[in-house]
Structure 1
């Protein structure tokens, strides 16, 4: 794959069994970039407080990111709620990786985008953390069940990828209402600052589209959907779902240069 200008990743959840580190490594190998944004929940301290699963592939992910930073790639890490302990180090640099609470990225075609993880716009996470923890445990259970379902589908020769967690989100009205309210909140924050859009994570629901004249970009995750946002050299943004050595456009992908 040719070099891209920027890669945006969020919700990798290193330290958990659900983390799909092998696929992420494939994606990173195929997408050299000028800059890399880590948009929160890269390390899952919440889950690690209950049990730790740190595979060799997850260790390699960390090493690869550090190596890219050492070799001149700009790497900026914006902690999320699952790695909020690292917010104590905002403004510092570790191994050439800058830690920031938020960032404004300017695309090659001149659009200015607010980068935040997004948990500050989630009322449950902010004010009812114990409910958020229970929800996180339930989500992780769905993801683990989905691993077995995917294995069964492969054994039966059923092609394509199907997500139990994604299906549950689409069918539960409250989940859809939450996603809509979240999107509106982050778009309002970008608009109030006079920016052209927002890049976030947090809700594990990848998207790239225009909302009320502003660009809404959500990186998705690397525990279920395996999605990332890529900025090409001309400023076009693309939402990519990584299913192996071949990337496929996600359902909501829009080349933002055409919006």
Structure 2
């Protein structure tokens, strides 16, 4: 049985980049059912696609998973615009069936109101000095490349994954100060909006804590952290990390072996007939298989 949530929030998938964990997030979404799926910005990385990024089948497969959730689970999907997918400005707002594309939203659940936004609108660097934001994006892309090289050798030596960008952020005082200020300003914005909490992304730092009486929730990213926010039907929020999911246990529960022995009855000789096993893929076309 799949775990059922009321709402799942993911952000910063950055489809179109080498660092995007498209296969992992598709596999993640396959394990759960939810009434609402909120894609909170930077799902498609338009900046990288304009420069050196490339669109691959695994990126398309992510959206096929979203379509299946709409069709099979009746999930409502909200795609909120981020700074890397700012090309959506040309079509906002847009409603197609159960898919809504918009700037931000106020989400009400179990007597509480949450202001949901990607978060870049509160980033003065991204908003007012766009060229500096692009330079920062190049630097982060370089760190991700260096991180892949570093972890390739760590993996060969049997060492665990190490996030170079997270280490750098933790050591640079200005970065730590910026993140703290970012979180405080978002909490203030939630209060101005008359909300009990704020749900965001943007800074690639998963978090769940109280700031001056406001619930601050950040879904993290699908480049390194691979995390998501999930709300149960009682209104409780939790952070789920892909690397902490026991997929083997989930698969074992899906296949329940029969305890009863089926009696073998001999009726006579029959021709042998073999049946091919159908694959459960996100696309009908076998060329899109994992």
Give the TM-score taking structure 1 as reference length: 0.90
* Alignment counterpart, residue 79 of structure 1, candidates 78, 81, 91: 81
Asked if 2 retains the 8 angstrom alpha-carbon contact of 1:119 and 1:202, the reply is: yes
The 5 A counterparts of 1:210-221 are 210-221=210-221
Cα distance in 2 for residues equivalent to 1:214 and 1:244:
27
Matching of residue 205 in structure 1 with residue 205 in structure 2? yes
Query: What is the CA distance between 1:148 and its match in structure 2?
Result: 2.1
CA gap of 1:198–1:215, structure 2 versus 1, over 3 A, is same
Give 2:49's aligned residue.
Answer: 48
Query: What is the CA distance between 1:4 and its match in structure 2?
Result: 1.0
Query: What is the CA distance between 1:188 and its match in structure 2?
Result: 0.8
Cα distance in 2 for residues equivalent to 1:47 and 1:94:
27
Deviation string, structure 1 residues 40-88 (Cα, Å, up to 9, x no partner): 0110000111022222221100111122223410000111111111023
The 5 A counterparts of 1:100-111 are 100-107=102-109, 109-111=110-112
Structure 2 runs not aligned, ≥5 long: 248-290
User: Partner of 2:198: helix, strand, or coil?
Assistant: strand
Query: What is the CA distance between 1:165 and its match in structure 2?
Result: 0.7
User: Partner of 1:210: helix, strand, or coil?
Assistant: strand
User: Partner of 2:93: helix, strand, or coil?
Assistant: coil
Cα distance in 1 for residues equivalent to 2:32 and 2:146:
30
Cα distance in 2 for residues equivalent to 1:163 and 1:211:
26
Structure 1 runs not aligned, ≥5 long: 248-259
Give 2:144's aligned residue.
Answer: 143
User: Partner of 1:33: helix, strand, or coil?
Assistant: strand
Q: Which moved more, 1:92-101 or 1:189-198?
A: 92-101
Asked if 1 retains the 8 angstrom alpha-carbon contact of 2:80 and 2:117, the reply is: yes
Asked if 2 retains the 8 angstrom alpha-carbon contact of 1:203 and 1:220, the reply is: yes
Give 1:179's aligned residue.
Answer: 179
The 5 A counterparts of 1:96-245 are 96-107=98-109, 109-159=110-160, 161-243=161-243, 245=245
Cα distance in 2 for residues equivalent to 1:82 and 1:95:
25
Deviation string, structure 1 residues 152-181 (Cα, Å, up to 9, x no partner): 22211123x321111111111111111111
CA gap of 1:24–1:205, structure 2 versus 1, over 3 A, is same
CA gap of 1:244–1:141, structure 2 versus 1, over 3 A, is farther
RMSD: 1.5
* Alignment counterpart, residue 89 of structure 1, candidates 85, 88, 91: 91
Cα distance in 2 for residues equivalent to 1:138 and 1:185:
25
Q: Would you say how many aligned residue pairs link Structure 1 and Structure 2?
A: 245
Query: What is the CA distance between 1:246 and its match in structure 2?
Result: 2.7
Deviation string, structure 1 residues 170-220 (Cα, Å, up to 9, x no partner): 111111111111111111110012110100111111111111110001111
CA gap of 1:61–1:68, structure 2 versus 1, over 3 A, is same
Matching of residue 31 in structure 1 with residue 32 in structure 2? yes
CA gap of 1:188–1:19, structure 2 versus 1, over 3 A, is same
